[in-house]
Amino acid sequence: MKKRMIFAVLLAIGPLCAFSNTRAQDKKEAADLIVSGATVVTMDSERHVFEDGALAVKGDAIIAVGPSAEILTKYDPKRKIDAGGKLMMPGLINGHTHIPMVLMRGLIDDVTLDDWLRKYIFPAEARNVTEDYVRWGSRLALAEMIRGGTTTFADMYYFEDAEAEETKAAGLRGVLGETWIDFPAPDNKSEAEMAAYTEKFLKKWQGDPLIHAAVAPHSIYTCSEKTLRDAAALARKYHAPILIHVAEMRKELIDSLEKNGATPVQYLERIDVLGPDVVAAHCIWVDYTDMKILADRQVGCVHNPSSNMMLASGVAPVVDERAAGMRVGLGTDGPAGSNNDLDMMEEMDLAAKLQKINRVDPRALGAKGALEMATIEGARTLHLEKEIGSLEAGKKADFAILNLDVPSAVPMYDVYSQIVYALKASEVETVVVAGKTLLKDGKLLTVDEAKAMTKAKEYATKVRATLQQ
């Protein structure tokens, strides 16, 4: 009797199970995009890597990352990208650059930083940099950055509002600082003008999902204490980031010791500039006290290996800085005179190798550490780690897909080693920022790069002529 009842119950449940299975499929969660089949390098806190991995996107954010089978069962996407055999990683973060300077790429190289700035670049900028120049320079640079897998960059230049508009149109994420400097700049001729321009700029972009408008006092050697304090006060009024060059040259350190009786970092600490809203480029000439201050103040520091080498500025003590608990990201600087390109793949490679040779120790900084500096640590450096820097649910959908079907990418034993020491920017095939595709299978979707290149050549003729005057 009992057995018969169980049998009857099973008969009744059977079709019910089948029914609930179909319902489960019907009830797949909606997603806008699924990328599947890739080797997914997440850079999450446990540094998960999924061999046949997938990522689901809804709106501008990642909703899930995991094995392809799991993600494809759970989500029903509007759009799919089959990334079988490819590599997916977080978009790279260029923590320090001056992108419109691409139009002066190669104009004058192989001179000292002081000469380069004062004899060539500042005069060339005074004669050539207009809003139109900044727009075309930005477009060219944005195309180059997208092609290299960069999804976020921090910039210091002039006419930064025009640069912000171009960045927004291209779909990249930017921390964009209007430069304050104690001489008439191409855009603003006095501190009053700088302050008025910057305040308008900060107000305009408040709350924008892609653009973080910032204030960029150039450095302690080009800004008075008043300029530095005023720039910081204005930034803090609007909760905006502060971008500045710090301890970049030995001359800067010597002059600061003489003039301020303090290192550049300790001088900035004394005048209340340092804080968790500051991004300091370079931090080369720093001692242990400086490192402790920078760590305690949660200042983001950006290492620029190409620039350190090209200008022979010295080598930032990145290994010690990381050990001291500092937030250390990676940048290209330049792209004129101090690097000449915006290639973050190359910068990771150089970052690791520069620390190795500097410490005569191949263990000094490894591939994984270099990739951290260009992704999750880069995000911490810009104080954006809650939004970007890794591929995990809740973060913005900013990522790059790289082709592994090239001789230099085969075989692959260690994914970090491959990314940093073997793969090139040319392997970047698809780039997505905030869920929007900017580069698809090698085709740029948001920037007219042919037109930007034509304009760049026209500008080169103009710039060369003004320098000969």
The tokens describing 329, both together, are: 């990201």
Half-sphere exposure of residue 32: CA atoms within 13 angstroms, side-chain side: 13
Least gap, CB of 245 to Zn ion (angstroms): 5
Contact yes or no for 99/138 (Cβ under 8 A): yes
Number of residues that bind Zn ion (CB under 5 A): 1
Total Cβ atoms within 10 A of residue 376: 24
Query: Is residue 155 at the binding interface for Zn ion, with CB under 5 A as the rule?
Result: no
- Which is nearer to Zn ion, 90 or 337 (by Cβ)? 337
Q: How far is the CB of 336 from Zn ion (least distance, A)?
A: 10
| Nearest-angstrom CA–CA distance, 27 and 31 | 12
**Cα gap 358→84, rounded to integer Å:** 39
Nearer to Zn ion, 230 or 333 (CB): 333
Residue 443's φ and ψ, nearest 5 degrees, are -105, 125
Q: Which is nearer to Zn ion, 321 or 333 (CB)?
A: 333
Q: Tell me if 400 sits within 8 A of 428, measured CB to CB.
A: yes
Q: Please state, in angstroms and rounded to a whole number, the distance separating the CA atoms of residues 77 and 30.
A: 6
The tokens for 163 are 């640069």
Least CB distance from residue 302 to Zn ion, whole Å?
9
Can you state the angle between helices 191-205 and 225-237, rounded to 10 degrees? 20
* Backbone Cα Rg of the chain: 25
Closer by beta carbon to Zn ion, 244 or else 319: 244
317-336 footprint of Zn ion as x/- string (CB under 5 A): ----------------x---
Cβ count near 116 (within 10 Å): 20
Q: Which residue number, 333 or 429, has a Cβ lying nearer to Zn ion?
A: 333
Please identify, using beta-carbon distances, which residue of 252 and 333 lies nearer to Zn ion: 333
- Which residue lies nearer to Zn ion by CB, 94 or 198? 94
CB of 98 to Zn ion, least distance (A): 6
Q: Minimum distance from CB of 284 to Zn ion (Å)?
A: 12
Residue 453 one-letter amino acid: M
Which CB atom, from 219 or from 355, has the smaller least distance to Zn ion?
219
Q: How far is the CB of 397 from Zn ion (least distance, A)?
A: 29
Q: What DSSP designation does 212 have? A: E
CB of 97 to Zn ion, least distance (A): 7
What is the rounded distance in angstroms from the CA atom of residue 172 to the CA atom of residue 396? 12
> DSSP state, 317?
-
**Nearest distance from C-beta of residue 96 to Zn ion, angstroms:** 6
User: Pick from 89, 60, 79: which is nearest to 149 by CA?
Assistant: 89
What string marks each residue from 359 to 378 as x (binds Zn ion by CB under 5 A) or -?
--------------------
- Shortest Å distance, C-beta 151 to Zn ion: 20
Give the nearer residue to Zn ion in terms of CB position, either 95 or 366.
95
Q: Closest CB to Zn ion belongs to which residue?
A: 333
For the chain, counts of helices (H) and of strands (E)? 18, 17
User: In terms of Cα–Cα distance, which of 240, 230, 60 is closest to 160?
Assistant: 240
The residues binding Zn ion (CB under 5 A) are 333
